[in-house]
Structure 1
Amino acid sequence: MTVKKSRRAKGEATIDEVAGLAGVSIKTVSRVLNREPNVRAATQQRVLKAVKALDYLPNLSARGLAGRRSHMVGLVYNNPSPNYLFHVLSGLLEACRESGYGLAMHLCSPDEPDLVRSATDFARQSRVDGLILIPPVGDVPALLTALEDMALPFVRLSPMDGRPGLGVAINERHAATRVVEYLLELGHRRIGFVMGDPGHGASMARYLGYCDGLERAGLALEPELVVDGRFTFESGRSAGEYFVGMSAMPTAVFASNDEMAAGVLQVAHERGVDIPQQLSIVGFDDTPVSREVWPAMTTVHQPISHMSKQATLMLLDAIKDNGTATKVPKAQLQIFDAPLVKRDTTAAPSAGKRRAAAIRRA
């Protein structure tokens, strides 16, 4: 498929031109953009390729009048990690672009007293056809009930409450347990842990996974090795100051996300602690910061962009199935793998550290 260079502004291509370039009818182009069923994969790919080549922008207003839809989806979020939000948006926008949908965003806090009103007003005023909810907003029961009462489709990223509904997630607890098992395999016995935001369901799941790993190895939980964090670099630095300042520093630290792990790492560098010979550090999420720090960080890979894209496609399917939005879609939770990525911030503890840990346990 080839297309001549054009001087026209983006969005001036017509649906007729898309149909002509793809070699299909206008109706077929419309069916692809509306994600209707029974369109062959090869045909769908030709249409999407033509849309991209021509920089075609659908007339959302006309489509909304014709189908009683706005062809807009909404993102309701509150997350302190810019890296996490960036990856969420990457996958979400890719799915919207491929499907001819627009995106509206709404920032709110799960702690604000009028959260439900704020989010539902946003949905009505923006006339979105459905919502993507990212943690911790997606774990607020009153909001979920209100959206169900509105018969507005929604999909949650990383839901933690076990409530039926559409969502995508990883097994947070299992992934955290695997981190502890890996550190134990290296010979670590004194492992510090940095909690995430207490209002975030993933924070508790990762903490429980940490506890599971210790319990399976027959090791007692040492409360002084568990430090509060907020999923921020600054809270990671605070944790690092605490651990490095201990009279018996742990031989490894597992932080609940990469940004906090990076904070611990920076403090270790400043205090002259050798990484990983004197202190191993593990993060969680595999965001760019884990690859940009030195040494490169061992972490858990959470496919955030892929998860958010899949969540958006699930939402668009639910919107299509709902028709005039008179029913709530059936429950479906898709679980993604979250492998451990071993890099350069982890190693076996030095002999001196192992002896000190053994003496402490005795």
Structure 2
Amino acid sequence: MGNTQGNDMGARRKGSRRGSSAPTITDVAREANCSPMTVSRVINGEANVREQTRENVLEAIRKLNYSPNRAARSLAGGEQLRIALLFENPSASYLSEFLMGALVEANKDDVQLVVQSCEGLDDIRPLIRSLATGGIQGFILPPPLCDDQSILDLIKELDVIAIAVGPGVASGIHSSVLIDDYQAAYDMTKHIIGLGHERIGFIIGNPEQVSSGKRLDGYMAAMEDAGLKPAPELIVQGRFSYRSGLQASERLLALDPRPTAIFASNDDMAAATVAVAHRLQLDVPTDVSICGFDDTDLASSIWPELTTIRQPIREMTAWAVSAMARALRGRKSGSRVQSEDKTLPYKLIRRESDAAPSLAQRGLRTNKP
């Protein structure tokens, strides 16, 4: 009889867990095919986790809409700060960095973080209204969402706090954290020119993001200041995705003569450019130098490792979550919320994908045999 009672109690406990709407760390571990301890390491930003495992855990967190602090706050009996992180970004490497910064800081600040994918403007406006009426107190917006004025206006109308992460320019309405995209692209282009390159291709990012235009402007200004005028065919549109980088670099490397260097507006497109160069049996950087932007994990996981601009994505997102928590707690205490803009430093990281042009390149060797 004692065994039957114990089995019944165990069954009730299991049924209760299954009936709960809140996913647990065990659910995330099961979805990612790893241990709960590994999930905890990922959430806390520890380095001793294989990159593929980290990606699996982040994907499981997104899929299950897991909040690492939900259980702890419930046990503590306190009212949670509830922040939504919305994303519509085709760059997997950028999104991984973005989520890591947010999760680690949310864990420190006892914030419930709701991670939500958006498919487009027709989807996001009703989603924002639904989340705001459902108890979300603030929104963290990465690009391109942070550049959409209609989204920023809607959040203001709903009297909810928003923080833009990585906008091309500060909105003036909501707080933001960003880098100087123009100067960073200028510095990278100047670096490439300093190596001796003159025929430099450029792959533009998503045209819906202000930062894309800033990076293009920085490239153009550096070229102009060096007395160089890039031919129109050397500037190709991308969308920050790996696939768009493949298409753009195929066009650039098919030119005759081809560019001696290519500067892609993010690491995903730069990595795609390296892949196309390898397929064409071009050596990087002997035949073509390739540089990126962001310094995501992808930049140092391909061969050769990318020279790139380090945008402190994790630090930017962590600052946004921390600033949001401060603002929400200030509002609860009756303080007036004021917008705050933070510009973080970038850094040019030199690795193995760039070099001075070879003698053959200096003679603008063509693609003809």
TM-score, reference length from structure 1: 0.78
Report what 2:141 is aligned to: 133
Distance 2:253 2:167 in 1: 34
Q: Cα deviation per residue 1:248-290 (whole Å; 9 max; x = unaligned)?
A: 0100000011111111101111111111111000001001111
Q: What is the CA-CA distance between 1:167 and the residue it aligns to?
A: 1.0
Unmatched 5+ stretches in structure 1: 1-9, 12-54, 65-69, 358-362
Report what 1:282 is aligned to: 291
Report 1:208-247 matches (<5 A): 208-247=217-256
Distance 1:296 1:290 in 2: 6
| Percentage of pairs with the same residue | 32
Q: Contact between 1:155 and 1:167, CA under 8 Å: does it hold in 2?
A: yes
Q: What is the CA-CA distance between 1:325 and the residue it aligns to?
A: 7.8
Helix, strand or coil: the match of 2:114?
strand
Residue type matched to 1:102 in 2? Q
Residue type matched to 2:160 in 1? L
Helix, strand or coil: the match of 1:57?
helix
Residue 333, structure 1, aligned to residue 346, structure 2: no
Report what 1:41 is aligned to: none
Q: Contact between 2:290 and 2:354, CA under 8 Å: does it hold in 1?
A: yes
Q: What is the CA-CA distance between 1:58 and the residue it aligns to?
A: 2.3
Q: What is the CA-CA distance between 1:355 and the residue it aligns to?
A: 2.8
Report 1:1-362 matches (<5 A): 57-59=72-74, 62-64=77-79, 70-109=80-119, 111-113=120-122, 115-125=124-134, 127-164=135-172, 165-323=174-332, 327=336, 329-356=337-364
Q: Cα deviation per residue 1:317-359 (whole Å; 9 max; x = unaligned)?
A: 11011117895x21221111111100001000012221339xx
Distance 2:359 2:188 in 1: 21
Distance 2:247 2:151 in 1: 33
Helix, strand or coil: the match of 1:63?
coil
Aligned length: 298
Q: What is the CA-CA distance between 1:79 and the residue it aligns to?
A: 0.5
Distance 1:228 1:203 in 2: 10
Q: Contact between 1:186 and 1:347, CA under 8 Å: does it hold in 2?
A: yes
Distance 1:133 1:142 in 2: 13
Q: What is the alpha-carbon root mean square deviation over aligned residues?
A: 2.2
Q: Contact between 1:155 and 1:311, CA under 8 Å: does it hold in 2?
A: yes
Residue type matched to 1:209 in 2? G
Distance 2:152 2:333 in 1: 20
Distance 1:116 1:355 in 2: 54
Q: What is the CA-CA distance between 1:123 and the residue it aligns to?
A: 2.5
Q: Contact between 2:170 and 2:341, CA under 8 Å: does it hold in 1?
A: no
Q: What is the CA-CA distance between 1:200 and the residue it aligns to?
A: 1.6
Q: Contact between 2:204 and 2:238, CA under 8 Å: does it hold in 1?
A: yes
**1:105/1:123 CA distance change after superposition, 3 Å:** farther
TM-score, reference length from structure 2: 0.76
Q: Contact between 1:153 and 1:325, CA under 8 Å: does it hold in 2?
A: no
Unmatched 5+ stretches in structure 2: 1-23, 26-69
Q: Contact between 1:106 and 1:119, CA under 8 Å: does it hold in 2?
A: no
- Of the structure 1 ranges 271-280 and 148-157, higher mean CA displacement relative to structure 2 is found in 148-157
Residue type matched to 1:347 in 2? A
